[in-house]
Structure 1
Amino acid sequence: MSVRQTDIDLAHALADAAGAAIRPWFRAGAEVELKDDRSPVTRADREAEAAMRRILEAERSGDGILGEEYGERPGISGRRWVLDPIDGTRSFTAGRAIFGTLIALVEDGWPVLGVIDQPVQRERWVGAAGRPTTFNGAPARTRACPALEGALVATTSPHLFDDGDVPHFMALVAAVSGGYTRQGPVYGGDCYNYGLLASGHLDLVCESGLQFYDFAALAPIVEGAGGRMCDWNGDPLTADSAGHVLAIGDPARTEEVLEALRAAA
């Protein structure tokens, strides 16, 4: 699976278009609606995805598209663009600039190109198979984590986890905090946490209940920065993954993280 420079250039164009659609609505009182699954959506979400789809329909008419707001358009090329116009709509509506636009290119179910774009702070991570991850054009690298105890772990919220997953997450928190319950995880952040991990500011991100458009862009970014992305069993993330997601900055800690999650079983 190869990623062409034209693919990367197109991903940048998509992120630029989404950002232009989102920024006018940030802290501007965008009305919030609730979808059938009770998740929030705003006009900014819809306008950003529509802007990206217009570009893809013009530039890559044979590629498929999967977007959170407008569903799936089948393609004929074996490639699919996976879009989440605002990952972290709750943060967006609260005026917190820790949401992001997620753009992925997927081949045969495997993410090969990913973008996290924070349009307000104008921060952008780009990862592509066979290439190092960049942050605003400069190399990004995860940091070494010499021991699981003391690692800095983040999640958006355990309230978003699937039923029964919270005890496993709390077992991981106990392992990294060494019994000091005041040394808890970082909460909030959505996709922004994965960019921070790729840039060496976090050690672990643990989530549950994610959809493919929530995580497809993340694996190329984290892995291109030297980290590892997998599910809670240690398996790679693909279109068939169930939504249990781990990002591990230092792959040497992988087995310890998996063992900690299993400790609650």
Structure 2
Amino acid sequence: MASDRNGLSIELQDRIAAVAHELADAARVETLKLFRSPGLRPDNKAVSGFDPVTEADRASERAMRGILGEKRPEDAILGEEYGAQPGESGLTWVLDPIDGTRAFMSGAPSWGVLIGVTDARGPVYGIIDQPHLDERFEGGFGRAALIGRGQHQPLATRRGIGLAQATLMSTYPEVGTPSQHAAFRRVAERVQLVRYGLDCYAYALLAAGHVDLVIEAGLQSYDVAAPIAVIEAAGGIVTDWRGGPAHDGGTILAAGSPELHAEALALLGRD
């Protein structure tokens, strides 16, 4: 049976991708029920500060877990709201039912549903889905596409851009610890344009060739597994700030090309 470098048969890849789209469809139903709804009532998960969660987050993850229990019971699951569930296949579904809950509760369509599939080496497939805009960014298993609004367009990161011409995005202006913020500023001061606040949608724009860099800190695995798969499938590169694997979260440097990645990495890693 034919397989690719992931060691998964083409048939299995197709089945996994089909289930991932089924998950994204189910999450769309649950999230759109409450998006821009006057009845939305966020709860605060944080002991101190503000870390919101809504019933849309919980319902979205429950719906996806229900499908996985039926279609892929042998796989492990790691979700933001309901934690880890062991499996025996060597594959893990990494779910963020709403990445960008603050945007969601504010009515801004920059949040998304993240569905990643990982093996022992890291992400092999991912979906970034923006239900309100009907935009689904898919990457992995030989796929790299933006699907939505009746269209199916290939994804490709932007190449041939140096740091001085680059557009950089991050969710918060206050990136990470003071030392991490200082490192971020070294890059931000060298680029052409810096924009903030788009959560996972920034990674989707990078994969689509509209943004050149995304730099963040303090992330979790469920924040990055799907974006890594999508960006790498589109020709980009994602590492931590030392150039190592980023799929466990922490610091993230995503770039449209290896050359731009190297420029940014040299500044981030400088003492």
Same fold (TM over 0.5): yes
Number of corresponding residues: 255
Contact 1:83 1:102 in 2 (8 A): yes
The 5-angstrom pairing of residues 105-184 of structure 1 reads 105-129=117-141, 131-136=142-147, 137-159=152-174, 161-177=176-192, 184=193
Q: Aligned partners of 1:103, 1:39: CA distance in 2, in Å?
A: 21
3-state SS of paired residue (2:209): coil
Which residue in the other structure is 1:229 paired with? 238
Q: Aligned partners of 1:89, 1:145: CA distance in 2, in Å?
A: 34
Matched, 1:44 2:56: yes
Matched, 1:216 2:231: no
3-state SS of paired residue (1:85): strand
Calculate the aligned-residue CA RMSD, in Å: 1.4
Which residue in the other structure is 1:245 paired with? 252
Using a 3 Å threshold, how does the CA distance of structure 1 residues 221 and 19 change in structure 2: closer, same or farther?
same
**Which 5+ residue runs of structure 1 have no aligned equivalent?**
178-183
Q: Aligned partners of 1:20, 1:48: CA distance in 2, in Å?
A: 8
Work out which of the residue numbers 195, 201, 204 in structure 1 matches 2:204: 195
Work out which of the residue numbers 68, 71, 81 in structure 1 matches 2:80: 68
Work out which of the residue numbers 103, 108, 113 in structure 2 matches 1:101: 113
- Report deviation, 1:109: 4.6
3-state SS of paired residue (1:253): helix
3-state SS of paired residue (1:194): helix
- Report deviation, 1:132: 3.6
3-state SS of paired residue (1:12): helix
Work out which of the residue numbers 99, 104, 111 in structure 2 matches 1:92: 104
Matched, 1:54 2:69: no
3-state SS of paired residue (1:114): strand
Q: Aligned partners of 1:139, 1:146: CA distance in 2, in Å?
A: 20
Contact 2:26 2:63 in 1 (8 A): yes
Contact 1:175 1:260 in 2 (8 A): no
Counterpart residue identity of residue 218, structure 2: G
Contact 1:127 1:224 in 2 (8 A): yes
Using a 3 Å threshold, how does the CA distance of structure 1 residues 69 and 257 change in structure 2: closer, same or farther?
same
Which residue in the other structure is 1:259 paired with? 266
Question: TM-score if structure 1 supplies the norm length?
Answer: 0.92
Q: Which stretch shifts more, 250-259 or 9-18? A: 250-259
Which residue in the other structure is 1:83 paired with? 95
Counterpart residue identity of residue 250, structure 2: G
- Report deviation, 1:202: 0.4
- Report deviation, 1:13: 0.3
Matched, 1:26 2:68: no
Q: Which runs of 4+ in 1 moved over 4 A?
A: none
Matched, 1:204 2:213: yes
Using a 3 Å threshold, how does the CA distance of structure 1 residues 90 and 260 change in structure 2: closer, same or farther?
same
- Report deviation, 1:22: 0.4
Q: Aligned partners of 1:209, 1:114: CA distance in 2, in Å?
A: 21
Which residue in the other structure is 2:13 paired with? 4
| Higher RCO (CA 8 Å, separation ≥ 6 residues) | 1
